[in-house]
Amino acid sequence: MITALCPGSYDPVTNGHVDVIRRAASIFDRIVVGVIRDPLHKRTLFSVEERVAFLEGALGELDNVVVDVFSELVVDFARKHSAQTMVKGLRVISDFEWEFQMNHLNRLLAPEIETVYVMASPLFSFVSSSGVKEIASFGGKVDELVPKAVARRFAELYPDGRPGAPVSPQE
């Protein structure tokens, strides 16, 4: 049985993430979606509990996918789940540059774990979590870019479509 790890911050999960994970689930026997608890390179908008719930809701019908949280080196987390492979999605050239560096570091730390890259579907190649957050914060429609639960949460966070706008008391 081949286990693959799909690590990320998923802040929030987008339909592009879901697409890559679904495609990986059709290739590998078991997928562990690893949600990094507190990424060092960015502050998250959503709590780790929300990010996990969004992923579980979007991927719930996939029997070979589990979601787990990690706060250690990604290769140590992969070993903990006996993952032989990490799956990463690629959208644009800048993704490749970042992943190229990470691949070399991860191979240095864990040469037994291979990384496989899945190209984003053209429909989602422009979608990023940071872009989605910015659109939603200004009241833009993100329903086609993220799972329904994420879109609903954005509507709760930004009812007036302004960053930092207070949430109305009935929420």
Q: Is 42 an active-site residue?
A: yes
Residue 35 burial (CB count, 10 A)? 24
Q: Is 41 an active-site residue?
A: no
Question: 107-112 long-range contacts, Cβ below 8 Å, gap at least 24?
Answer: 109/73, 109/75, 110/75, 110/78, 110/79, 112/84
Q: What are phi and psi of 125, to 5 degrees?
A: -65, -15
Where are the strands (E) in the chain, listed by range?
A: 3-8, 30-36, 65-70, 85-90, 114-119
Give the DSSP letter of residue 29: S
Q: Is 17 an active-site residue?
A: yes
Distance CA 60, CA 141 (A): 24
Q: Which among 17, 51, 88, 133 is annotated as catalytic?
A: 17
Residue 29 burial (CB count, 10 A)? 10
Let me know: does 104 contact 116? Beta carbons within 8 Å.
no
Q: Which among 51, 129, 133, 137 is annotated as catalytic?
A: 129
Q: Which among 22, 30, 91, 107 is annotated as catalytic?
A: 91
Which positions are catalytic? 17, 42, 91, 129
